[in-house]
Amino acid sequence: MALLETTGLTASYGDFQALFGVDITVGIGETIAIIGANGAGKTTLMRSISGVLANAAGSILYRDEPIGALPAPDILARGIAMVPEGRKLFPSLSVEENLLIGRYGRKVDGPWTLDSIFALFPILKERRHNPSTALSGGQQQMVAIGRALMSNPEVLLCDEISLGLAPVVVRDIYAAFPRIRETGASIVIVEQDIAQALKVADRVYCMMEGRVTLSGAAADLSRDDIHKAYFGTEHHELA
Amino acid sequence: MNWLDTILQGVLLGGLYALFAAGLSLVFGIMRLVNLAHGDLIVLAAFLILVLVTALGLNPFVAAVIAMPLMFAIGWALQYFLLNRTLGKDILPPLLVTFGLSIVIQNGLLESFSADSRRVFAGSLESASVNLGPVTAGIMPLMTFFSAVAVIVCLNQLIYRTSVGRAFRATSDDPVTAGLMGIRPQRIFAMATGLAMVVVTIAALYLGTRANFDPTSGPARLIYAFEAVIIGGLGSLWGTLAGGIILGVAQTVGAAINPEWQILAGHLAFLAVLLFKPRGLFPRAVD
């Protein structure tokens, strides 16, 4: 059963249409990678699902219920948390406060607590009382991921988490994903770093100019398929 | 002239100005909203206390405690149903709407209470005083000052030590990302304005027991509040107390030199701070 499903999703910023009938499905416990160049519509898709962007048309179903019209706090309450592009930490809050705000006003049972986030990213425990702005980019990304996990989500949306980070830092951050997967959460990773995304994903969607141009199991996709989908217009349906 | 006494009276007067200003500072700090009706809301709260005192025969302090939740509800509803609609990239709509609200409140009070000056009587407390070595301080001015300190301590505790305070700061930083954390910025803003109205009620208690007020007293209170906030640095609550004290001391020193200079001296102090420290003495970064 699909946990999260978009059908014919279109979204616009004013007159500019950014998504043209996007269909994706995310299964329970599945890790999905959405890859594509700048301007492909990946972030718009994440913003639409997370309730930040009001959808023009199409449907978003979560556990077979429409959630397309819900605002962001209601989407989070259903169990979908997002790590936004650019991390978007709160500069007025310390590292620990940024993590705690991830579960504001809710009691959520689950594996993720302040202690388990500190176990996942030990450096954050050392820096817990520092202002979030005093951290390096990689550490800030860890806070952003930890903050989203604090709500114990069923679906974790990660938008461009490797953007602007050194490869060694990206590797450290991706090292946390097996542990996140162990908790049973579904993960949607939006990436431009294709190699990194393919390592952790079960299935891949490639987007270009607001459309899905390729989808399939990560193991079945060849470099050639991805290259064509990333830069060309052909759509290959695999598996 | 006893300078020590003049400065002490100025510091205590500064407590009243800090109370006028704390709610304004809180609202501005969280949602960047300049509420031009703030002074009129103080006067509205003073009339509410007056009604409770005269109609129910209550002690003014008890009346203020009863007025607090009512003013919280008024502030919450005002923000949620009206002012939230004006917030956005353009700073003009909130200014226009709160300016209009100021006129509505003034005229509503004029209709209801006439233009007569009123006062809330606090009995023997009004004339009670205490000797502090070479100077004497009134009990009410002392209570005003320590209430201002207590209000600022409580607000700082709330903002920096509670989960609601975290939500205030997060929403102030980035309301869209706050939404992703499950925070509803519209409700956070409403709660902040409700809280500001509780502080306004405390300010109104001391305004009403200390001096005469009438339906048109609000704008002058707004100017003092605004000057205290700007002197202290926008969004900084301790800065607001310092701003109130500087304003109060400037006024009493001005009055000691020449009674006609009281108000002018306060404005000159404000302009001097603006000239040399345009962001105020304690801008938000060091709050």
* Residues above pLDDT 70, as percent of chain B: 98
Distance from CA of A231 to the nearest CA of B (A): 32
Collect all residues of chain B within an 8 Å Cβ-Cβ radius of residue A151. Answer: 181-182
Closest partner CB to B179 (pick from A71, A92, A105): A71
**DSSP assigned state of B82:** I
Closest partner CB to A104 (pick from B173, B176, B183): B183
Q: What is d(CA A50, CA A35) in angstroms, rounded to the nearest whole number?
A: 18
CB A174, CB A1: distance < 8 Å: no
Sign for the CA dihedral angle at A156, A162, A168, A169 comes to negative
* A100 → chain B, closest CA residue: B163
What's residue A55's pLDDT?
A: 64
pTM to 2 decimals? 0.90
Decide if A73 and B183 are in contact by the 8 Å CB cutoff.
Answer: yes
- For A2-237, CATH number out of 3.40.50.2020, 3.90.1150.10, 3.40.50.300, 1.10.10.10 equals 3.40.50.300
pLDDT tens digits, one per residue of B18-70: 999 999 999 988 998 999 999 999 999 999 999 999 999 999 999 999 999 99
For A150, phi and psi rounded to 5 degrees?
A: -60, -20
Distance from CA of A232 to the nearest CA of B (A): 34
The pairing of beta strand A211-217 with beta strand A186-191: unpaired
H or E segment and range at residue A182: helix A177-182
State chain A's mean pLDDT as an integer.
89
Map out the domains of chain B with their CATH numbers: 3-114+135-286 (1.10.3470)
Q: Where are the domains of chain A?
A: 2-237
- Could you tell me the pLDDT band of residue B284, with boundaries at 50, 70 and 90? low
Decide if A104 and B182 are in contact by the 8 Å CB cutoff.
Answer: yes
Distance from CA of B173 to the nearest CA of A (A): 6
Whether A84 has its CB under 8 Å from any CB of chain B: the answer is: yes
Decide if B181 and A104 are in contact by the 8 Å CB cutoff.
Answer: yes
Whether A85 has its CB under 8 Å from any CB of chain B: the answer is: no
Collect all residues of chain A within an 8 Å Cβ-Cβ radius of residue B176. Answer: 52, 72
Query: Which pair of structure tokens corresponds to residue A174?
Result: 């991706």
pLDDT tens digits, one per residue of B215-251: 999 999 999 999 999 999 887 899 999 999 999 999 9
Collect all residues of chain A within an 8 Å Cβ-Cβ radius of residue B182. Answer: 73, 76-77, 103-106, 151
* pLDDT reading at B287 higher than 50: no
Decide if A151 and B182 are in contact by the 8 Å CB cutoff.
Answer: yes
Whether A114 has its CB under 8 Å from any CB of chain B: the answer is: no
Whether A106 has its CB under 8 Å from any CB of chain B: the answer is: yes
CB neighbour list of residue B152: distance below 8 Å, 6 or more residues apart: B18, B22, B237, B238, B240, B241
Closest partner CB to B182 (pick from A77, A88, A92): A77
Indicate left, alpha or beta for B123 from its phi (over 0: left) and psi (-120 to 50: alpha).
left
Sign for the CA dihedral angle at B42, B47, B51, B57 comes to positive
Collect all residues of chain B within an 8 Å Cβ-Cβ radius of residue A93. Answer: 166, 169-170, 173
Q: Which residue has the tokens 């006893």?
A: B2
Decide if A97 and B166 are in contact by the 8 Å CB cutoff.
Answer: yes
For A153, phi and psi rounded to 5 degrees?
A: -75, 155
Closest partner CB to B172 (pick from A52, A92, A104): A92
Interface test mutation site (partner A, options B161, B177, B237, max chain A beta carbons within 10 A): B177
State chain B's mean pLDDT as an integer.
93
Residues of chain A with confidence (pLDDT) below 50: none
Say how many CB pairs under 8 Å bridge A and B.
66
pLDDT tens digits, one per residue of B159-209: 999 999 999 999 999 999 999 999 999 999 999 999 999 999 999 999 999
What's residue B286's pLDDT?
A: 41
Sign for the CA dihedral angle at B159, B162, B164, B166 comes to positive
Cα distances from B41 to residues A238, B62, B63, B229, in angstroms, run 66, 19, 16, 17
Indicate left, alpha or beta for B166 from its phi (over 0: left) and psi (-120 to 50: alpha).
alpha
Decide if B183 and A101 are in contact by the 8 Å CB cutoff.
Answer: yes
